[in-house]
């Protein structure tokens, strides 16, 4: 993590030069030239092999502690590309992964739809078989890097068998009939809608097997879910660091804020919860790397880490006072950034459902 944090300290100027809501291509290039993208797109002979979940967690926490924009750009490259890396044919992998790993193009993970968020098994984007491939018709929403990505890992319905009737495809952003628009969010990440109007994709673009796209999605999400917790941890740690520095120097009623037990004990509780969350994240990542069943562990890690990070930022703002809510303050920035991880890649309520189901098996 030390090397990641060293790199992260050099990235804020590149991040700040980007346009909110659009892919920052200079930032992608910087992540590639720093060697961080090589950590998740590891060369193995003529091809690539997946990274470890632990490495992913360490990098995401280190980046988030110093530059959330760099962390998000890094994570979106991995999340969008891993269905291709894990399940794409040799020709599809060769076409896209080298360019994604080099930071030359952006990639998106296109799962969510306007009426299918947490219940992703109810996807409605239709993929109709035609000669030589499929035609996709429908809409996606809240898609990372849309509408600027060069390629999307798209999940569409190929039969009426619920989650067992979904197929994954690698769809170029330039495909005929594919259009997109930006969605303005609380955090200025590149996110948008995609509209598929009879978009043709060849059979060679299928990731994995027909009707087995849900397995591709879950393999990707199971790997990335602990690292969402790591992202949250980085933000929570940054908030705690800021709160400790502020309360050590800020004077009130003739003494530093740190000497008020009502202040210092809040920070002690935050530090304890962050450490516990980090142990959960690392435990889930180690279990994934060990090949065991990790759904409930990943759910625990994401749930506890994201909820803890929200609390850490809130406490840090409280001990700072109104100055922390000024536009441009670190904590104002973190306050906007920390909210989304409790929703995406499975909301906190979904994580609790996963954990509860595991208890009753």
pLDDT at residue 31 is higher than 70: yes
- 225 band by pLDDT with thresholds 50, 70 and 90: very high
In the chain, the percentage of residues whose pLDDT exceeds 70 is: 99
pTM above 0.95, yes or no: no
Residues 99 and 8 in one domain: yes
φ, ψ of residue 270 to 5 degrees: the values are -65, -45
**Average pLDDT of the residues in 82-111:** 96
Residues 82 and 191 in one domain: no
Tell me: the pLDDT tens digits for 103-135?
Answer: 999 999 999 999 887 776 789 999 999 999 999
CATH code of the domain covering residue 27: 1.10.540.10
Query: What is the model's pLDDT at position 117?
Result: 76
Residues 307 and 325 in one domain: yes
Query: What is the model's pLDDT at position 177?
Result: 97
Closest by Cα among 145, 173, 186 to 342: 186
**Average pLDDT of the residues in 211-233:** 94
Closest by Cα among 37, 29, 42 to 63: 37
Query: What is the model's pLDDT at position 2?
Result: 64
pLDDT at residue 158 is higher than 80: yes
**Average pLDDT of the residues in 266-281:** 98
Query: What is the model's pLDDT at position 47?
Result: 84
Residues 315 and 235 in one domain: yes
Residues 221 and 312 in one domain: yes
Spot the catalytic one: 26, 131, 345, 349. Answer: 345
CATH code of the domain covering residue 313: 1.20.140.10
Tell me whether residue 345 is one of the annotated catalytic residues.
yes
Residues 165 and 219 in one domain: no
Of 186, 212, 238, the one marking the end of a domain is: 212
Residues 337 and 241 in one domain: yes
Residues 101 and 142 in one domain: no
Number of domains in the chain: 3
Residues 308 and 245 in one domain: yes
More confident residue, 221 or 117: 221
Domain that holds residue 206: 108-212
Of 87, 106, 125, the one marking the end of a domain is: 106
Name the DSSP letter for residue 292: S
Q: What is the mean pLDDT of the chain?
A: 94
Residues 161 and 97 in one domain: no
What CA–CA distance (Å, rounded) separates 88 from 94?
9
When mean pLDDT is compared across 57-61, 193-197, 255-259, the lowest value belongs to 255-259
What CA–CA distance (Å, rounded) separates 36 from 90?
24
Of 212, 237, 268, the one marking the end of a domain is: 212
Residues 113 and 163 in one domain: yes
Query: What is the model's pLDDT at position 1?
Result: 65
**Average pLDDT of the residues in 3-32:** 90
pLDDT at residue 72 is higher than 90: yes
What CA–CA distance (Å, rounded) separates 49 from 41?
7
């Amino acid at each position: 993590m030390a090397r990641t944090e060293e790199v992260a300290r050099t990235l804020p100027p590149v991040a700040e030069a980007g346009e909110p809501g659009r892919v920052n291509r200079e930032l992608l290039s910087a992540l590639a030239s720093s060697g961080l993208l090589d950590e998740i797109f590891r060369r193995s002979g003529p091809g690539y092999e997946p990274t470890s979940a632990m490495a992913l967690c360490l990098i995401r926490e280190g980046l988030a502690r110093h530059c959330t924009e760099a962390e998000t750009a890094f994570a979106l490259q991995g999340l969008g590309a891993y269905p291709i890396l894990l399940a794409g044919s040799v020709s599809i992998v060769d076409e896209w992964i080298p360019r994604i790993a080099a930071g030359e193009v952006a990639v998106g993970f296109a799962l969510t739809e306007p009426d299918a968020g947490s219940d992703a098994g109810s996807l409605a984007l239709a993929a109709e078989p035609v000669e030589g491939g499929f035609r996709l018709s429908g809409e996606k929403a809240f898609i990372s890097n849309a509408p600027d990505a060069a390629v999307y890992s798209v999940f569409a319905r190929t039969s009426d068998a619920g989650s067992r009737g979904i197929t994954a495809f690698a769809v170029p952003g330039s495909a005929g009939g594919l259009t997109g628009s930006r969605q303005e969010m609380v955090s200025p990440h590149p996110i948008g809608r995609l509209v598929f109007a009879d978009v043709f994709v060849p059979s060679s673009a299928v990731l994995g097997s027909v009707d087995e796209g849900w397995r591709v999605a879950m393999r990707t999400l199971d790997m990335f879910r602990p690292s969402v917790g790591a992202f949250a941890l980085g933000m929570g740690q940054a908030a705690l660091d800021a709160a400790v520095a502020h309360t050590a120097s800020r004077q009130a009623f003739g003494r530093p804020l740190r000497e008020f037990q009502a202040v210092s004990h809040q920070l002690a509780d935050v530090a304890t919860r962050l450490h516990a969350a980090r142990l959960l994240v690392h435990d889930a990542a180690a279990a994934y790397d060990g090949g065991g069943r990790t759904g409930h562990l990943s759910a625990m890690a994401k749930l506890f880490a994201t909820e803890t990070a929200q609390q850490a930022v809130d406490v840090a703002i409280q001990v700072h006072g109104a100055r922390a809510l000024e536009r441009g303050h670190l904590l104002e920035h973190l306050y906007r950034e920390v909210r989304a991880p409790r929703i995406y890649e499975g909301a906190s309520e979904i994580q609790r459902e996963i954990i509860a189901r595991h208890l009753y098996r």
